Amino acid sequence: MNAFQRAKLASVLFRRYEGNPILTAGHWPYPINSVFNPGAVALNGDILLLCRVEDLRGFSHLTVARSPNGLTDWTIDPEPTLLADQSSKEEQWGLEDPRIVWLEEQKQYAITYVSFSEGGPIVSLAITRNFKTFARLGGMLPPEDKDACLFPRRFNGRFALIHRPVVRGEAHIWLSMSPDLKHWGDHRTLLRTRYAHWDGARIGLGCQPIELPEGWLLVYHGVRHTTASQIYRTGLALLDKDAPWRVLRRSEEWVLGPRESYERIGDVSDVTFVTGGLVRKETGELYLYYGAADDKVAVAVANLDDVREYIMACPQVDQ
Ligand code: BMA
């Protein structure tokens, strides 16, 4: 596949669901400003989205929405599912942008989300079996840090966390290791912004890492500053299956970006921000759930074999 053919494939890889946006403030059982950036998981035969919901003060909490097919017939918890503890300085301005992964060893779901503290955003961890009761394990690393997710299993005995600290104003994707989910070390950069590209200003993890036969698919967002504002798009990378600190491939082009009016117009214009991924084994499809213009939830669908073909056609990465 030459570069032109690859770019052509990138532009048709993901198909927007024709019923987008699938969740909006109008669907909500209680008054809210917006709903966006959900974590996604299959649970008890349903598709569950843990949505970021912004209340009428401008603070966020997390609420569960369930659907039998991940597209329609959503049932939304009648009240917030996970609220910030307002007595805690670390969460005083709310909870944002959850990513969910099933921890094989613990037989529990790990939710990594952002607590918005006085000192900036903190990557925090909660564990649950049922999305009704949660063990809240608190902040994992100091601020300013966002866009984090664990891998579902250990590598050489240690857990791995993808996250996005901001250092000297630079926003690259990092990977850190821990023996116990509490003490983190061996911090290293995984993916860097690319000057002058669509992902030149900032990058961060999208959904949870997706396991493919070729390695871990890393879905990430990239930001470009323009004279008018900024554009949030989505790209792909491939990490080594046994050593996810090794980047094997990275897409030159984005695979999803603001195009439809629900992505271009909203609380923040021109944002497609993927936070939930779901592999539909029955159909061989990958669903990506994303926040559209920071005030609605939308979904884009790809054939998983096409995604594999595309990422393997992307350039190898020099590290
Ligand atoms: C990022 C995060 C997301 C948000 C995005 C676009 O920095 O704060 O929650 O969706 O910006 O505004």
Q: What is the pLDDT of residue 45?
A: 94
Q: Which residues line ligand 1 (CB under 6 A)?
A: 37, 96-97, 232, 268, 271, 273, 291, 294
Instruction: Give the confidence band of 124 by pLDDT, cuts at 50, 70, 90.
Output: very high
**Which has the minimum average pLDDT: 140-149, 277-286, 310-319?**
310-319
Q: What is the pLDDT of residue 208?
A: 98
Q: Which ligand 1 atom sits nearest the alpha carbon of residue 97?
A: 9
177: helix, coil or strand? strand
Q: Whose CA is nearest to atom 2 of ligand 1?
A: 97
Tell me how far the alpha carbon of residue 52 lies from the centroid of ligand 1, in angstroms: 11
How confident is the model over 288-293, as a mean pLDDT?
A: 98
Instruction: Give the confidence band of 88 by pLDDT, cuts at 50, 70, 90.
Output: confident
Q: What is the pLDDT of residue 87?
A: 83
Contacts of 129 (CB under 8 A, 6+ apart): 107, 108, 109
Tell me how far the alpha carbon of residue 291 lies from the centroid of ligand 1, in angstroms: 9
pLDDT in tens, 185-233: 999 999 999 999 999 999 999 999 999 999 999 999 999 999 999 999 9
Nearest to 211 by CA among 129, 283, 140, 307: 307
Contacts of 155 (CB under 8 A, 6+ apart): 177, 242, 243, 244
Instruction: State the chain's mean pLDDT as an integer.
Output: 97
138 vs 318: CA distance, rounded Å: 36
Q: Which ligand 1 atom sits nearest the alpha carbon of residue 291?
A: 10
231 vs 224: CA distance, rounded Å: 5
Q: What is the pLDDT of residue 160?
A: 98
For the cut 90, the answer to whether the pLDDT of residue 318 exceeds it is: no
7: left (phi over 0), alpha (psi -120 to 50) or beta: alpha
Q: Which ligand 1 atom sits nearest the alpha carbon of residue 232?
A: 6
Instruction: Give the confidence band of 319 by pLDDT, cuts at 50, 70, 90.
Output: low
Q: Which ligand 1 atom sits nearest the alpha carbon of residue 271?
A: 6
Tell me how far the alpha carbon of residue 86 lies from the centroid of ligand 1, in angstroms: 22
Structural domains in the chain, CATH included, are 3-313 (2.115.10.20)
Query: Which residue among 97, 166, 221, 224 is best mutated to probe the pocket of ligand 1, counting the most ligand atoms within 8 A of its Cβ?
Result: 97
